[in-house]
Structure 1
């Protein structure tokens, strides 16, 4: 089972509205805070901001918790381990997670040498997928509950 949050929070929508305002301002099309909230609410399928605000929780719980057992891939190598740190990033869409692997993972694909990692810190989205990519275009990290 992969991580997902089906319902966004009010804070998430507010962060999206702020980003929308900043994007529009850079494009020379200023947008009021209220208009940005309304646009984001409609984009999420709500009639308006007030409806969205009434239906959404203020915050959602983290899809990852310290002590949670996880599995996945890191730089293309399979792993199992434990989450030992979680930090919600300022965009409210990504988490910085620290994973302690059960067995060290060789992060080098060369047959000439090895570089083992026992603990890594990576940024992942709410689905457990890293936005950073490897040279072949795959996410650097994918995490799922074990």
Structure 2
């Protein structure tokens, strides 16, 4: 297998589809994924995706102690649930101390449990109005 990640395989399928389209042959994205899987020795796309997903290093693990910022508030806590969603990871965190998710002096909303999506850099793709990621989890040093 020459591919190193699911993202790389999807990029290869996209390039294959564009190349064939430039030559007058139109195929669906699903067909391009299947062709990439066959080119890499897999029975089908699902098999290739499973192999690549297992081979990719995981940034975070269940029960890891983590720190970071949620809506601008510093936190420490533990990862209680994880799931991969494409290149991103859905994380659920149990915080050691509650954080206030509201920035108004006259109102508070304390949270001890938070959930969010983070990319490979530990930052959520969603941002607040000032451009700050909703959730930032510090990447553990190896």
Q: Same fold (TM over 0.5)?
A: yes
TM-score (structure 1 length as normaliser): 0.66
Count of residue correspondences: 116
Match of 1:105 in 2: 99
TM norm structure 2: 0.68
1:126 alignment partner, one of 88, 105, 120: 120
Structure 1: distance between partners of 2:72 and 2:16: 37
Question: What are the within-5 Å matches in structure 2 for residues 87-102 of structure 1?
Answer: 87-89=83-85, 91=86, 93-102=87-96
Q: Which structure's relative contact order is higher, taking Cα pairs within 8 Å and 6+ residues apart?
A: 1
Runs of 5+ unmatched residues, structure 2: 41-50
What's the C-alpha RMSD, in Å, of the aligned pairs? 3.0
- Is 1:17 matched up with 2:12? yes
Q: How does 1:1-146 map to 2 (within 5 A)?
A: 9-18=4-13, 24=18, 30=26, 33=32, 58=52, 59-89=55-85, 91=86, 93-144=87-138, 145=140
Partners of 2:100 and 2:69 in 1: how far apart?
11
- Alpha-carbon separation, structure 2, partners of 1:124 and 1:20: 26
Whether the 8 Å contact between 2:100 and 2:110 is mirrored in structure 1 is yes
Q: Structure 1 stretches of 5 or more lacking a match?
A: 1-7, 38-48, 51-56
1:43-89 deviation per Cα after TM superposition (whole angstroms, max 9, x unaligned): xxxxxx97xxxxxx832131100110100000000000001111011
- SS of corresponding position for 1:79: strand
Cα 1:132–1:20, aligned 2, differ >3 Å: closer, same or farther? farther
